[in-house]
Structure 1
Amino acid sequence: MDQEKLLKEIKVFLDKGYDYEDTLKRMSFGQKEVMQLKERLDKLPNVPNVQEKLCLQYLNGTNGDVDEAEKRIQKYYEIKTSSPELFWNRDPDSEELQLTFKIQRIAALPITPDKSFVFIQRTVDPNTQIFNFDTVFKTFMMIAEYNMLIHGPQDGSILISDWNGTKFGHIFQPRISSIRKGLDFIQHASPLKTKAVHILNSSHLFQVLFSIIKPFMKKELADVIHIHTADMDYNEFFEKHVPRHCMPSDYGGDLPSLDELHAKNIETLRTMKEYYRLEELHFKSGIEKSSI
């Protein structure tokens, strides 16, 4: 597929999301910075044609700093093209992802009043032999990117991970290379600032995992990890961290159950099946561009 046609087809999906012009008016920067960033990126050999909406997301995440946004977008394309196990083959109907949907619950929750995306994850199948960190991370990023596409720039993101179903085998299944790449992407390539990570129903298992992954973490990320035990006070959690109206009923929140939210999120991903296929072609065009 030629580049012009590919970009037009991708734009069909991008246009379903937030209004670019209205969002730009709320930013501390303007179209000048967006075009300045885009013009720089268009000259780079390993970056395919970048949409203005992506530039807007990164400038929002860097408070309008064009230099920093350029670095992060370059890193974005670098990691995505070199880590197909985490970012490619994103067909929601594939056998690989269907299995992940069965053993995990992953969902986007409502945006908080302080403009934060909220994502929640829980393992529901105790069989560690079928757990696959790569596809869990892939699914999480699919849901996160869909919400960025639809809702536009926010002030950051909150990740909630429920460890109630986590077993010893789960924490030793991921390859160190995958953990390193995933953390590298979140810390250096994502347009979203991680405002908080909440570990629910934590046990000594999380401490074991944390000792493994801490060498790959920046202090800024390690400092926003909050550990909660099974006897936590959810009323305090709602007051200090995530409002009750943004949490599933399983946790005392006002939303439907996590099972219901998960199912709804998966159906949403299926509507984006063609977008994920086109996006992969877009990334591969950047590889071809750099090899010319």
Structure 2
Amino acid sequence: MDKNVSEEVQKKINQLRNWVDSQPHLPKDIDNRLILRFLHSCYYDVEKTKQTIELFFKVRDSAPELVNHRDPLSPAMQKAMKIAKVAHYEISGKRNIWFWQLNDPGLEQYDYIQDARMFFMTCDAWILSNEDLAEEDIVVMDAKDISLKFISKFNISVARKLAKYQEDAMPIRLKQIHIINAPPFIDKLFSMMKPFLKQEVTNMIHFHVPKSETLYKYLNKEDLPSDYGGSRPSMEELNKRVVDIVMDKRKIFLDENFWKTEKKGKKIKEISTTFRSLDID
């Protein structure tokens, strides 16, 4: 990928490469392609990129329940991938769509922590396999099967880590979040998440009630999956593409040390303490 970047950007990649290599706690499996993705997500600000890389690994270190035990062939993960479909695809204007669709009426099978674990896994698979650098990343979540029972499934600790990771650590340019088929009680569910979210992120969130067309103010209908009246493949097909990539990367997900900081002795405590201070901030 380096051959496709400008000389100025390459200099910044080299600068960050030297910095990463000089940090004894950072993992050794950070390649230049990942460095470029972080740099791009931070609009080529080197110091901001360093902070984002540090936070990326600190959040993951603080969340072993989300980045361990991620064998996509395990019964728990197979179950999660059957009830929640995800899709990642590019649309016009160099924008990415991140689509999440739950298919579990009554939330009888839904497991919030397992869903979050699947989120980390599918996002990692995307980062590992995708080389396009999008100008915008747009999240669309279908809440058609969400009920008040979701409150009993909710985990505050995991939600806090997930929010921190999505807001400040993922190497993407998050610009819009759309909740479609939003139920009347969505404000009650949103109130559980709002304390963890920055105002900048809450301003990105838009709710769309069932059968409304308000989503089309932000996205062309044609850019949606065929299930939603668009011209893209169905969620079933788009999800299969994601699952295929995950399976291709299965060996990586079986490695419990993948994208983990080097922790020796009291270093574990130091990293945990640092993350707590970042979380409070």
TM-score range, shorter chain: 0.7 to 0.9
TM score, norm. by length of structure 1:
0.83
* Contact map agreement 2:138 2:177 (CA 8 A) in 1: yes
* Residue 215 of structure 2 corresponds to residue 241 of structure 1: no
Give the AA of the match of 1:276: F
* Residue 199 of structure 2 corresponds to residue 219 of structure 1: yes
Q: State the shift of 1:81 in Å.
A: 1.7
CA offsets 1:136-160 (integer angstroms, 9 cap, x no match) = 2232333333333323322231111
Residue aligning to 2:81 = 101
Give the AA of the match of 2:263: I
Q: How does 1:1-292 map to 2 (within 5 A)?
A: 19-22=1-4, 24-25=5-6, 29-49=8-28, 50-108=30-88, 110-149=89-128, 150-233=130-213, 237-238=215-216, 240-278=217-255, 280-284=256-260, 286-288=262-264, 291=267
Higher helix proportion (structure 1 or 2): 1
Q: State the shift of 1:99 in Å.
A: 0.9
Give the AA of the match of 1:180: R
Q: Distance in 2 between matches of 1:245 and 1:141?
A: 28
Q: State the shift of 1:48 in Å.
A: 1.3
Q: State the shift of 1:51 in Å.
A: 1.5
Q: State the shift of 1:111 in Å.
A: 0.8
TM score, norm. by length of structure 2:
0.86
Q: Distance in 2 between matches of 1:201 and 1:188?
A: 27
Q: Distance in 1 between matches of 2:121 and 2:137?
A: 15
Aligned-pair identity (%) = 26
Change (3 A) 1:230 1:284: closer
CA offsets 1:238-291 (integer angstroms, 9 cap, x no match) = 4x323334311111011232123223321221111113234x423346224985
Q: State the shift of 1:200 in Å.
A: 0.4
Unaligned 5+ segments in structure 2 are: 269-281
* Contact map agreement 2:146 2:183 (CA 8 A) in 1: no
Q: Distance in 1 between matches of 2:142 and 2:83?
A: 13
Q: Distance in 1 between matches of 2:229 and 2:218?
A: 14
Residue aligning to 1:16 = none
Q: Output the aligned Cα RMSD.
A: 2.2
